[in-house]
């Protein structure tokens, strides 16, 4: 022990002296490009300027943006929870609050400092990574085998809730194309995207609303959940086809892309899916570490996302398909959710809402005509989705009460709508004004879901109280 006590200061002292000796000798050296290097490292800046320069570096700025977005989104999420709305609605509004529509309008200097335009690329890429994992988890939660075995009514309601609003969206595009379509965008591209934007349902938001209200086991809740799941699968397939058509530019190229997409999907369903189940089951039997299983799942996710981009459809479709490929055992779902859900939903997903909000410029709607267009879009969106779903549900034998409840739930758009709109914006199909109008439509239709459910329940009770018994109406 005494030797260790003596050796420690001796070693430290000897090497400290040697370091000082080398530095002292090095003071006499002159570099070949002395003047240029001296100018580069000259500390001419003040302390405040140096601090500002450090903050503006890409990494510190991105971390600051994440901190601001995380704080504001959680604050708005809690506020909206208090008033009976799902927290995701508050997070979407938090994104719009941070954008030019509110924060950029009230405090332009602060907004420009936190979110300069040249920094949004980093925020976009990080939010896209979060979305990949989120879409992957949605796919994991969907069991297409169970969807196949559901009653025909769910398929009828789901497809009716797509085709009718899709028709309204294409018709609406005909009236808006000349005024709102960007230069050089064909009517086909504009109409196809307006159709898909009007017909989408937000399965994850709907599922959260049902869970928070304890309606997942109620007949209309289970039916709405099944319809939304089938709607999601169908809508993402349609979206993949639409992106293929838009990106290809010609009919032949589009057909090639669609054919490659079909081959990709069939290979994943009938070759990769059984192989993946077999490998993961064997890994579980041999008690391999969870890290090995999760690594394989993430590898499939990344490969599918990459292939989807290479084929000419969006990486998010690949991530969604990868999730569908995963085994549907409860243990496996819990394992993946435990590894990815918190970071993707709590941290990375609000970045996507904020990025969407930074693109949304409500100030562009600066006259009565534009607000009239916005109102018309919202009315047609509600009429198409809620009306189409409710009528289809009634025709399949549901009561009027359950039909309207299903329609109100299917009218929820939320995050999935924002994904579609951002894809359209990135492809140059949606101009900033129509993008802002459609974001407002997504927000309003999501906000109205819970009040509509309460209204239908209230009207139902009033009718029961009036007649003393329940009616199928």
pLDDT above 80 (res 464): no
- Per the CB < 8 A criterion, the answer to whether 322 and 304 are in contact is yes
Which of 97-102's residues contact partners 24+ apart within 8 Å by CB, and which partners? 97/72, 97/357, 98/68, 98/69, 98/72, 98/354, 98/357, 98/358, 99/354, 99/357, 99/358, 99/359, 99/360, 99/361, 100/358, 100/360, 100/361, 100/363, 101/357, 101/360, 101/361, 101/362, 101/363, 101/436
How large is the average pLDDT for residues 335-351? 79
**What pLDDT was estimated at residue 20?**
76
**What pLDDT was estimated at residue 261?**
85
**What pLDDT was estimated at residue 3?**
61
**What pLDDT was estimated at residue 304?**
92
For 469, the 3-state DSSP assignment is coil
Tens digit of each residue's pLDDT (9 = 90 or more) over 300-327: 999 999 998 888 777 888 888 888 888 8
pLDDT above 60 (res 128): yes
Lowest mean pLDDT of 316-330, 335-349, 422-436, name the range: 335-349
What is the rounded distance in angstroms from the CA atom of residue 292 to the CA atom of residue 14? 48
Tens digit of each residue's pLDDT (9 = 90 or more) over 4-52: 566 767 777 777 777 877 777 777 777 665 544 444 444 545 556 666 6
pLDDT above 60 (res 396): yes
User: Could you tell me which of 235, 242, 265, 251 has the C-alpha nearest to residue 312?
Assistant: 242
CATH hierarchy code of domain 63-467: 1.20.1530.20
pLDDT tier for residue 469 given thresholds of 50, 70 and 90: very low
Q: How far is CA 150 from CA 154, 210, 227, 323, in A?
A: 7, 19, 10, 20
pTM of the model: 0.75
Strand ranges (DSSP E) for 180-261?
none
User: Could you tell me which of 317, 320, 359 has the C-alpha nearest to residue 121?
Assistant: 359
Tens digit of each residue's pLDDT (9 = 90 or more) over 183-192: 888 898 899 8
Tens digit of each residue's pLDDT (9 = 90 or more) over 445-463: 988 888 888 888 888 776 6
Please report, for the chain, the start and end positions of each structural domain, with discontinuous segments joined by +: 63-467
How large is the average pLDDT for residues 223-232? 77
Contacts of 298 (CB under 8 A, 6+ apart): none
Q: Average per-residue pLDDT in the chain?
A: 80
pLDDT above 80 (res 213): no
How large is the average pLDDT for residues 209-224? 72
For 18, the 3-state DSSP assignment is helix
Four-residue CA torsion sign, 268, 272, 274, 279? negative
Q: How far is CA 145 from CA 150, 226, 230, 244, 373, in A?
A: 9, 12, 11, 27, 42
User: Could you tell me which of 362, 354, 382 has the C-alpha nearest to residue 106?
Assistant: 362
pLDDT tier for residue 153 given thresholds of 50, 70 and 90: low
How large is the average pLDDT for residues 327-340? 78
- Per the CB < 8 A criterion, the answer to whether 94 and 357 are in contact is yes
Q: How far is CA 77 from CA 81, 95, 135, 421, in A?
A: 6, 11, 21, 22
How large is the average pLDDT for residues 281-285? 72
What is the rounded distance in angstroms from the CA atom of residue 247 to the CA atom of residue 321? 20
- Per the CB < 8 A criterion, the answer to whether 472 and 399 are in contact is yes
* Residue of 36 and 401 predicted with greater confidence: 401
How large is the average pLDDT for residues 108-135? 83
Lowest mean pLDDT of 199-203, 215-219, 306-310, 388-392, name the range: 215-219
**What pLDDT was estimated at residue 374?**
93
Q: How many CB atoms lie within 10 A of CB 468?
A: 6
Give percent of the chain above pLDDT 90.
Answer: 11
pLDDT above 70 (res 148): no
**What pLDDT was estimated at residue 202?**
77
**What pLDDT was estimated at residue 367?**
81
How large is the average pLDDT for residues 347-360? 83
**What pLDDT was estimated at residue 303?**
93
Instruction: Quote helix, strand, coil % in the chain, to nearest 5.
Output: 85, 0, 15
Helices (H) and strands (E) in the chain, counts: 25, 0
pLDDT tier for residue 373 given thresholds of 50, 70 and 90: very high
């Amino acid at each position: 022990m005494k030797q260790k006590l003596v050796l420690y200061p001796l070693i430290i002292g000897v090497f400290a002296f040697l370091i000082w000796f080398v530095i002292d000798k090095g003071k006499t050296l002159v570099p070949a490009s002395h003047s240029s290097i001296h100018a580069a490292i000259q500390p001419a800046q003040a302390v405040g300027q140096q601090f500002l320069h450090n903050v503006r570096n890409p990494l510190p700025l991105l971390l600051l943006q994440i901190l601001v977005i995380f704080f504001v989104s959680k604050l708005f999420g809690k506020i909206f929870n208090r008033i009976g709305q799902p927290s995701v609605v508050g997070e979407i509004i938090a994104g719009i609050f941070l954008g030019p529509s509110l924060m950029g309008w009230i405090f332009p200097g602060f907004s420009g400092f936190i979110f300069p335009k040249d920094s949004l690329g980093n925020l976009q890429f990080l939010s896209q990574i979060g979305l990949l994992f989120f879409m992957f988890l949605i796919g994991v939660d969907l069991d297409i085998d169970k969807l196949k075995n559901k009653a025909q009514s769910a398929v009828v309601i789901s497809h009716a809730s797509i085709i009718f609003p899709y028709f309204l969206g294409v018709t609406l595009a005909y009236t808006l194309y000349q005024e709102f379509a960007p230069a050089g965008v064909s009517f086909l591209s504009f109409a196809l995207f307006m159709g898909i934007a009007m017909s989408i349902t937000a399965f994850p938001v709907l599922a959260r609303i049902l869970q928070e209200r304890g309606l997942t086991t109620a007949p209309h809740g289970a039916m709405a959940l099944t319809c939304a799941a089938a709607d999601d699968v169908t809508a993402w397939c349609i979206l993949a086809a639409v992106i293929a058509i838009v990106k290809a530019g010609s009919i032949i190229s589009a057909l090639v892309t669609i054919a490659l997409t079909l081959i990709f999907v069939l290979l994943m369903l009938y070759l990769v899916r059984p192989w993946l189940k077999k490998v993961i089951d064997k890994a579980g039997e041999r008690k391999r570490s969870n890290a090995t299983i999760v690594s394989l799942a993430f590898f499939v996710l990344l490969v599918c996302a990459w292939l989807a981009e290479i084929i000419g459809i969006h990486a998010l479709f690949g991530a969604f398909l990868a999730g569908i490929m995963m085994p549907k055992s409860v243990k496996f779902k819990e394992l993946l959710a435990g590894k990815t859900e918190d970071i993707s939903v709590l941290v990375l997903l609000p970045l996507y809402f904020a990025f969407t909000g930074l693109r949304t410029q409500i100030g562009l709607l600066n006259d009565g005509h534009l607000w009239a267009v916005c109102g018309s879009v919202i009315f047609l969106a509600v009429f198409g989705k809620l009306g189409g779903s409710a009528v289809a549900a009634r025709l399949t034998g549901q009561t009027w009460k359950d039909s309207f409840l299903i329609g109100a739930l299917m009218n929820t758009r939320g995050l999935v709508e924002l994904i579609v709109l951002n894809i359209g914006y990135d492809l140059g199909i949606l101009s900033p004004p129509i993008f802002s109008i459609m974001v407002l439509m997504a927000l309003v239709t999501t906000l109205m879901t819970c009040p509509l459910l309460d209204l239908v329940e209230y009207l139902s009770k009033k009718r029961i109280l009036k007649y003393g018994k329940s009616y199928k109406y």
